């Protein structure tokens, strides 16, 4: 049975962190919202799951993953579930929680990225909160982004197994997520991220290595990889970038 990933059909968004793990592992999966309604798929199928009156495990929000009868919500939780199956997390239970801690830090970062364009209300349009977004984005660029990226750079530098991976000497799902964060930040804030390679050399090297992994490279070139756009988590509004006019 292939895994069923439930996530919005037109954005990378939070679903992308799960897609990258599924793609790296070469796992069989259905991106349900991108499927045909005539085959019981499409966005409608996702909404129906969330509104279900009989499903015992109802998610509040996507992404969620269905594996047989199991419905698992939240990116970090989904990755913690898939990690051992895909060999993308350590064997040791305690260390799996260390890896989960790193992923949850990415969860926090992603929420802050979202709030740069939606600082007041998720339910309102960006255009309704542009002024607040400017202030929030400036704070993110000046203080929060360097704090998060500086942290991950330090974790890489202090990895006793060497800086090639964020944890241990093998690829984990956190490495894949850091690749996505790096891609997203560069898309959203091209000016503020112009010097990432010199500021964060280990993160940059990790990004470049993940990009070249055969399954990831194949995926990035495929139609399954949805281009960044103005509906996702990482959005490019020139007026929110550094030194905006």
Ligand X SMILES: N[C@@H](CCC(=O)N[C@@H](CS)C(=O)NCC(=O)O)C(=O)O
Return the number of other C-beta atoms located less than 10 Å from residue 50's C-beta.
15
Looking at beta carbons only, is 109 or 171 nearer to ligand X? 109
14 binds ligand X (CB under 6 A): yes
61 lies in the binding site for ligand X (CB under 6 A): yes
Segment interacting with ligand X, rule: CB under 6 A, options 32-40, 47-55, 58-66, 188-196: 58-66
63 scored as a contact of ligand X (CB under 6 A): yes
| Spatial contact of 189 and 223, defined as CB atoms under 8 Å apart | no
- Residue 75 sits in the site that holds ligand X (CB under 6 A): yes
Residues 6 or more apart in contact with residue 64 via CB below 8 angstroms? 6, 49, 71, 72, 73, 74, 78
- Within 18-37, the residues that bind ligand X by CB under 6 A are none
For ligand X, the closer of residues 75 and 174 by Cβ is 75
CA atoms of 175 and 194, how far apart (whole Å): 21
List 19, 66, 74, 202, residue binding ligand X (CB under 6 A): 74
Are β-strands 29-31 and 64-67 bridged in parallel, bridged antiparallel, or unpaired?
A: unpaired
Q: Collect all residues with Cβ–Cβ distance below 8 Å to 243 and sequence separation of at least 6.
A: 191
Find the part of the chain contacting ligand X (CB under 6 A) among 20-28, 60-68, 89-97, 157-165: 60-68
Q: Which residue do the tokens 């599924």 mark?
A: 22
> Max Cα separation, the chain?
53
Q: Assess 62 for contact with ligand X (CB under 6 A).
A: yes
Smallest separation, CB 60 to ligand X (Å): 7
Residues that bind ligand X (CB under 6 A): 13-14, 61-63, 74-75, 107
């Amino acid at each position: 049975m292939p895994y069923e990933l439930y996530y919005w059909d037109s954005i990378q968004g939070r679903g992308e962190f799960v897609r990258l793990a599924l793609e790296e592992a070469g796992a069989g999966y259905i991106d349900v919202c991108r499927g045909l309604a005539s085959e019981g798929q499409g966005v409608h199928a996702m909404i129906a799951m969330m509104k279900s009156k009989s499903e015992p495990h109802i998610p509040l929000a996507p992404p969620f993953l269905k594996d047989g009868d199991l419905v698992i919500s939240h990116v970090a939780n989904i990755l913690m579930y898939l990690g051992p199956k895909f060999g993308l997390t350590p064997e040791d239970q305690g260390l799996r929680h260390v890896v989960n801690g790193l992923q949850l830090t990415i969860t926090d970062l992603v929420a802050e990225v979202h709030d740069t364009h939606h600082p007041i209300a998720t339910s309102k349009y960006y255009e309704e909160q542009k002024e607040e977004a400017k202030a929030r984005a400036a704070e993110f660029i000046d203080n929060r982004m360097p704090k998060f990226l500086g942290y991950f750079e330090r974790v890489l530098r202090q990895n006793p197994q060497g800086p090639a991976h964020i944890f241990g000497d093998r690829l984990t799902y956190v490495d894949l997520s850091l690749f996505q964060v790096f891609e997203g930040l560069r898309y959203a804030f091209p000016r503020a991220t112009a010097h990432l390679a010199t500021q964060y050399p280990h993160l940059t090297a990790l990004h470049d290595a993940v990009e070249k992994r055969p399954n990831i490279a194949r995926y990035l070139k495929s139609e399954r990889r949805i281009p960044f756009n103005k509906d996702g988590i990482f959005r490019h509004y020139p007026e929110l970038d550094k030194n905006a006019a």
